[in-house]
Every structure is written in structure tokens, then in C-alpha cells.
Structure 1
Amino acid sequence: MEIALTPAERAFRQEARRFFAVDYPQDILAKLRGGDRLTRADHVRSQQALQSRGWLGIGWPRENGGPGWTPVERYLFEQELEQAGAPNIIPMAIIYIGPIICAFGTDAQKALWLDDILQSRAMWAQGYSEPESGSDLASLRMTAVRDGDDYILDGTKIWTSGAHWADWIFCLTRTSREERKQDGISMICVPMGASGIRIEPIISIDGSHELNRVTFDQVRTSVAHRIGEEGKGWHYANVLLASERVSYAHVGRKKADLAALRVKAAMMPGDAAPTMLDEPRFAARLAALDMEVAVIEISVLRALTTQMDPAMVSSLKIACTEVAQKITELWLELAARYRSPRLDRGQEGWADVLPPQMRFGVPETASYLFERAQTIYGGATEVQKNIIWRQLARADALP
């Protein structure tokens, strides 16, 4: 589907399209097309290329270094980035904590953190989940005890994406015990080089190292690193989580994946017939996904101009993550038809052992495995359904 664009919006879309085709680092695009994993340095270069145009701080106010885009311009930018096959912006600093600092941070905190984030001099991690406090985030047990001008942090965070790359981590910590478990939680930022922090890698089923367990043992950080008021962290976290769940849409990426699926499914090794597109079940599932992505896109476009209530945000998160998984399932079927083996992409030269037409199966199989987590992280599907139910129950209770 298309939205009616003004001449200025059409010009902006063309500018973004040309940027990714000409000015963006083409070796990064080639690396992703070849199925290789990106390094920290690759992500830094990618983000610095965006910032060279002032395009990194999406969702940030102009006065804090953001591009000052309208919702439609942000939508067009994200579409062009994903259609070009560029990596998504690492969300922890730009999409999650950056807007929170802009909205609730002190002037000193903005001066300390915002420019380093925009220039990709500092990467961030999110310290929310704990070993026995995942979906029930409010039950977290990590403590931050005030000691003069410092907090002393003790506890463990888990499933911490990018902690091994991060320079800072923003954590939800318990600064007091209150009757309501959502109260007494504060949002505190900690430099990852602080004494007492231990990072242990968690290797995912797809063989990648993205997740970590982070242990805090008497870790000191300044009270000046607390975001907003003490005990109000649950409020800031919910502002952040709403943005996090909407950020899973990735409509452009889904469209690009479906287009690539069609091209690959129309070809078979050795010109074998029938192709996967000739198989009614496969073709029907592909068509159904086209329709599901169109529905998601309508919801995202609607969200550009209206405030989404919690039930709508949760519904969109469920739809986006389930469709992402369904797309990888079709890629896996295609890889099976090509008899593509599973190889370790961490091994140098892994692609050289396969014919070019079979190489797609290795990263797509890894994507299938990795995407199993989409319906868990950022609020599990079951949690989202509870949110929807509570919203509906409150609506029914109204006179």
C-alpha cells in the first residue's frame, strides 16, 4: 500500500533512497547480503554514516540533536533503510534510553550522554530482566543502596543484549521496599567499566553472542546518574517499553524479505520443477503473509497520527513478532529444498564451502533460530495478551 505524500515528503524519500544507494558504506550492505555477522566497528560506522546527515537520533527532539522529522518522514526513513538491507539502528541508546534522557534527564546528564550517543562514541545496554524476574519485571530484586553521593548496586541482570559492547548500562533497581511492587524502583545508569561488574556471555541457539549475564557486586555509581526521581523508575520504564514494542514493526524489512523469498522460491537448484511457488501450500502461506504485513502497515500508519493505547501497542507487538517468525519458517522450508547445511558463521571462510545458490540457507536458518525469541523479549506474547485483557476488562467496566 502507499500513503499520499506531499512533494517535500517524496523528495525526502528520494534523498534517503539515494543515500543508501550511494553514500552509505556499501561494504556493510555487501557483508549482510553475504550472510556475515557485523562487528561492533561495523555498527559504529553504520550509525556514524547516518549521523553524518543528522539522521541517527530518530524520535529525538530537534533541540537535543534529533532530525526533527514528522512521523511520516521517520516512517519513510525506516522504510528506505530496511528496503536497502542496512542494519537497523542498535536500539538501546538511540531508541530506548536516548528519548528518556531527552524527556526526563537533567541538563548535566544531557551534556554527559547525548552527544556521545549521537556520535556513537558510547554504546549502551539495557539492564531490566533478572534470572527470576523476566516477564514479571516489577518483581526485580537488584538493589541500589544510597551511600552519600553514590548508589551501591548488587544483583544480576540477564539476557542483556550487547553488554559486551556497551560503555554504559541503564538499570531498573530497587531503591526501597514498598507495598506495591512497582513502587520503589529507580532507573540508574552505570558505566560498564565500574569495579565489581562481571559480564558472562550467553551463546544463543543460532551460535551468536548477543546476550549476556551481568553481575553487580558492590558496584558504585553516582547519584547524578539516576534518571528522574528516586522510586519513579517504573513510570520511565513504561514510557520506554511502549516505544520498544512499537519498534518491532519493521515493515520495510518484512516487505524486503517477502520479495526476496518470492525470487528465491521461483528458482530451484538445477532448474528443478516444480518450484516452491508452484506448491499450493507454500504459495498460500506467502500470500497470507503479504496480507498480514499489509495489516501491520495500516496499523503503523494509523499510529503515526493517533496515540496508541496499551492494548493497541500490545496487539501490534504480537502481530509483528509472530509474522517475523512465520517469514523465517518459509525461509527454512526453502533452505531445506536447497539442502543447505547449517554452518558456523563464526568460522572464517564458511561461505567458500558452499555453492553460491545455497549460501542463503545458512544465515536464514540462523535467523529462524534467533527469531524464536521475538515472542519472548520485550514483553512475552502471554504478557501482551494479559495487557489486552485488562484493557478490555476496564473498558467493559465503564458505565
Structure 2
Amino acid sequence: MDFSFGPADSAFREGARAWLAQHTPRGGQPGDWERELGRGGWIGIGWGETAYGNRSAGLTQQVVWAEEYARAKAPPRTGHIGENLLAPTLLAHGTPAQKARFLPPIARGEELWCQGYSEPGAGSDLAGIRTVARRDGDTYRITGQKIWTSLAHEAQWCFVLARTEEGSRRHHGLSFLLVPMDQPGRIEVRPIRQMTGTSEFNEVFFDGAEARAEHLVGGEGNGWQVAMSLLALERGVSTLAQQIGFAAELERVVAQAVSGRAPGAGADPLDPVLRARLVAQWAELKVMRWNALRTLGGSGDAGAPSVAKLLWGGWHRRLGELAMAVRGTAAAVGPYDWDESRPYELDPLQHLFLFTRADTIYGGSDEIQRTIIAERVLGLPREVRVP
């Protein structure tokens, strides 16, 4: 793909870079940063509409913003799920009233969202969900459990895929509901402590939680179609920003390898196996960027999202393993003296290794992505499913 930036993109880059240089915080609360982005009009620049207090930018300018954001080392986003997953879904499937209610607060950085998809018995196999929602007048009452719900402990709203047709199976009888999280006694959020010591993920229990009937998106029983269009949004411009973050992590690993020549600092960078692994990581990252550019804006390739997930999930996990290899034996100990009164801490490369162990699982496991490619792209017979 011939992907080049024009004069308008260069001007946009200068403006974005200047704004980020002036406003990027070096501390403070993430919620404050979301509202700052909202005041600048930087939330929702890819929505294609500007009726909600947001700027509008074409694909190349969205890439520019993603690149400059990553290069400015701006804080991690907490509004990604609302901005990049729910908002485009509402623009495609929502009613005018739903757009008017939910898109402006997202654009202002005032309301955060989480995603109620995965369940203990239905992670990558989304059609197996058991959470139910029963109509009761002007509301739906939701009962069930969701898991691996990112930022549920901070979100004000959750979009939930639930079974509204009693006795339905697989992808039939599902509906897509917008649910307020502030329902004491009806919604319980339990953080899941990870190997890194952090708790971005959560379990969420619904015990008769209410969702208003007017907050049903796409019509009752059409949740599968809405959910699939949302999942397709998890690739695109955001993957390019992700890759810039990956490049920064790779640079850190390479720098550690170079400094490893000092006694006791880690592996020898002249080791041919280590050198080959570093070169492979660099080359594969370039391929991922070209693939992301090729599919930018949608290429009509049914397997593109699965290919992208397989590529970056495996690459990032191998980078974590490589980070430990270049550290040598020092990777096994904490970056502090042996003081039992101090909490256990990880340095950036240790955190990278532990967190990336999950990269080939969350967002759709590798096994599920390969099955999608086999059946929907290659036309192979459907996998035998155990009832």
C-alpha cells in the first residue's frame, strides 16, 4: 500500500505535537487526563461526525495523532473502550436518542465504559454466554457473571451481551444492553490480581441489575450481529499506536542487550542466538506495521482481524521472553535490596514479561483465531464441538 502523508497531515502533526507538549501531564489522575483530552477535542476524532464536541480527522491524520500520542509518552488511556469500541458501534447501530445521550459524555472524557462479554465458561467462545436478561416492563433485569472485564472498577457504564430469549443457544437470542454500573446490591465488582501485582481486570456479578429498554442497541435478539461489528473495531488505527509502543519496548530491550557487555549486567550481545532473536523481533514488527497499513480502514478480508491478533499477540509474548533473556540471571530478582518491609516491585522488563504471558489469550485466544481463519477464510470443515 502506498501510504504517505501530505501537507495537511504535516500541519496536523505540528498542531498535535504542540498540544501534547503543552498539555501532557507528568502525574495526576487518569480521569483528569481524559477530560483534558475532551476539552481539546481529541476524543472521537475518527467518528466521522463532529456533533459531539469532537474534532474530525481522516485516516492519515488519525495515524498521525496515534503516533504523536505514543511518542509524547502521554498517559495510558482509560477511555479507549468507550471511544473506540462503543461509540462506533452506536454510530452504526444506535438510535438518535442513544447517540445524543452517550456520545457527548464520551467525547468530553466524563463517562468511562467497560465491556461485558467474556464469562467463566465463555471466554473466546462468545456464543456460549449464559448471562440472561429478562424484560420487565420498561427495563431488563440482568443476572449472570462476566470476567476479565477491563477497568470495571473505574467505569460508570458497561455494555453487556446477554441472552434475552429463553432456551436460545449459541449466537441466537442474544441482545446488546447498556448498563449503569452504579447499582449497589445488584452489581458487584471483584478485582483480579495478576502476576504483575496489578488489577486492571475484574469479575463482575449481576444480580437483577437493571438496564432501560431504551438502552437496547440494535433490537432484541440482534446482539450477536452488534457484538461482531464491535469486535471488528479492535483493529485499525489503534493498532498502529500499539506498535509504536511495541517499538519503544523493543528499543529498551536492545539497549539492555547492548549494556549487557558489562560484567554481570546480562547476556552477551555478541551471542549469535541472541542477536538473531533481536533481529527477528525488529523485522516482524516492521511486517506488522505494513500489515496494519494495508488493512487500515477495512479491506474486506474476513480474516484480517484474526491475522492481526495472531501476529501481535505472539510477537509481544516473545518480546517479553527476549527481555528476560537479555537480562540474564538478574531477571529473577527484584530491583531493590532484600528488605522484607518493602513491597514486591517489578522493573519495566520484568513487568513486560509477566504481562505478555496473557497476550495470546485475551482479545480472543490463538486457538480461536486459527479456527476462524480455517473455517471462514480457508473454507475448511467446521471444528467438531462437544455439546
Q: TM-score, normalised by structure 2?
A: 0.87
- Partner of 2:200, secondary structure, is strand
- Partner of 1:63, secondary structure, is coil
Q: Does 1:136 align with 2:136?
A: no
Match of 1:319 among 305, 311, 314: 311
- Partner of 1:235, secondary structure, is helix
1:151, distance to aligned residue in structure 2 (A): 0.6
Q: Does 1:89 align with 2:89?
A: no
Q: Does 1:157 align with 2:146?
A: yes
Kindly indicate whether the alpha-carbon contact (under 8 Å) linking 1:251 and 1:297 is maintained by their aligned counterparts in 2.
yes
Q: TM-score, normalised by structure 1?
A: 0.85
Aligned length: 373
Report the Cα distance in structure 2 between the residues aligned to 1:276 and 1:79, rounded to whole angstroms: 33
Q: What is the CA deviation profile of residues 331-360 of structure 1, one whole-angstrom value per residue up to 9, with x for unaligned ones?
A: 22334454573379xx9x979x9xxxxx9x
Report the Cα distance in structure 2 between the residues aligned to 1:214 and 1:273, rounded to whole angstroms: 43
- Partner of 1:218, secondary structure, is strand
Kindly indicate whether the alpha-carbon contact (under 8 Å) linking 2:163 and 2:175 is maintained by their aligned counterparts in 1.
yes
**Closer/same/farther in 2, CA of residues 279 and 252 from structure 1, 3 Å limit:** same
State the one-letter code of the partner of 2:211.
Answer: T
Q: What is the CA deviation profile of residues 185-241 of structure 1, one whole-angstrom value per residue up to 9, with x for unaligned ones?
A: 000111111241111121111111111111111122211111121110111111110
Moved more, 136-145 or 96-105: 96-105
Q: What is the CA deviation profile of residues 98-122 of structure 1, one whole-angstrom value per residue up to 9, with x for unaligned ones?
A: 1112222222222222121122221
Gaps of 5+ in 1: 29-40, 354-358
Q: What is the CA deviation profile of residues 170-197 of structure 1, one whole-angstrom value per residue up to 9, with x for unaligned ones?
A: 1000000466521210001111112411
Match of 1:202 among 192, 205, 214: 192
Gaps of 5+ in 2: 382-387
Report the Cα distance in structure 2 between the residues aligned to 1:315 and 1:223, rounded to whole angstroms: 37
Match of 2:108 among 113, 119, 127: 119
Match of 1:383 among 347, 368, 372: 368
> Which residues of 2 match residues 1-399 of structure 1 at below 5 A?
3-25=3-25, 27-28=26-27, 42-65=29-52, 66-90=54-78, 91-177=80-166, 181-195=170-184, 196-246=186-236, 247-248=238-239, 250-268=242-260, 276-304=268-296, 306-336=298-328, 338=330, 341-342=333-334, 362-394=347-379
Kindly indicate whether the alpha-carbon contact (under 8 Å) linking 1:341 and 1:362 is maintained by their aligned counterparts in 2.
no
Kindly indicate whether the alpha-carbon contact (under 8 Å) linking 1:173 and 1:186 is maintained by their aligned counterparts in 2.
yes
Q: What is the CA deviation profile of residues 52-110 of structure 1, one whole-angstrom value per residue up to 9, with x for unaligned ones?
A: 33112143122343432111111121122122322343321111111112222222222
Kindly indicate whether the alpha-carbon contact (under 8 Å) linking 2:189 and 2:202 is maintained by their aligned counterparts in 1.
yes
Report the Cα distance in structure 2 between the residues aligned to 1:148 and 1:109, rounded to whole angstroms: 19
Moved more, 379-388 or 268-277: 268-277
Kindly indicate whether the alpha-carbon contact (under 8 Å) linking 2:142 and 2:208 is maintained by their aligned counterparts in 1.
yes
Report the Cα distance in structure 2 between the residues aligned to 1:143 and 1:260, rounded to whole angstroms: 46
**Closer/same/farther in 2, CA of residues 136 and 340 from structure 1, 3 Å limit:** closer
Report the Cα distance in structure 2 between the residues aligned to 1:275 and 1:201, rounded to whole angstroms: 37
Moved more, 311-320 or 331-340: 331-340
Report the Cα distance in structure 2 between the residues aligned to 1:64 and 1:145, rounded to whole angstroms: 34
Kindly indicate whether the alpha-carbon contact (under 8 Å) linking 2:317 and 2:353 is maintained by their aligned counterparts in 1.
yes
Kindly indicate whether the alpha-carbon contact (under 8 Å) linking 2:266 and 2:326 is maintained by their aligned counterparts in 1.
no
Report the Cα distance in structure 2 between the residues aligned to 1:126 and 1:11, rounded to whole angstroms: 36
Report the Cα distance in structure 1 between the residues aligned to 2:376 and 2:188, rounded to whole angstroms: 40
Kindly indicate whether the alpha-carbon contact (under 8 Å) linking 1:150 and 1:223 is maintained by their aligned counterparts in 2.
yes
Report the identity percentage.
34
Kindly indicate whether the alpha-carbon contact (under 8 Å) linking 1:159 and 1:211 is maintained by their aligned counterparts in 2.
yes
Report the Cα distance in structure 2 between the residues aligned to 1:143 and 1:274, rounded to whole angstroms: 53
Kindly indicate whether the alpha-carbon contact (under 8 Å) linking 2:114 and 2:157 is maintained by their aligned counterparts in 1.
yes
Report the Cα distance in structure 2 between the residues aligned to 1:236 and 1:188, rounded to whole angstroms: 10
Structure with greater proportional helix content: 1
Report the Cα distance in structure 1 between the residues aligned to 2:376 and 2:43, rounded to whole angstroms: 34
State the one-letter code of the partner of 2:226.
Answer: Y
Kindly indicate whether the alpha-carbon contact (under 8 Å) linking 2:265 and 2:330 is maintained by their aligned counterparts in 1.
no
1:51, distance to aligned residue in structure 2 (A): 2.4
**Closer/same/farther in 2, CA of residues 135 and 333 from structure 1, 3 Å limit:** same
Kindly indicate whether the alpha-carbon contact (under 8 Å) linking 2:260 and 2:269 is maintained by their aligned counterparts in 1.
no
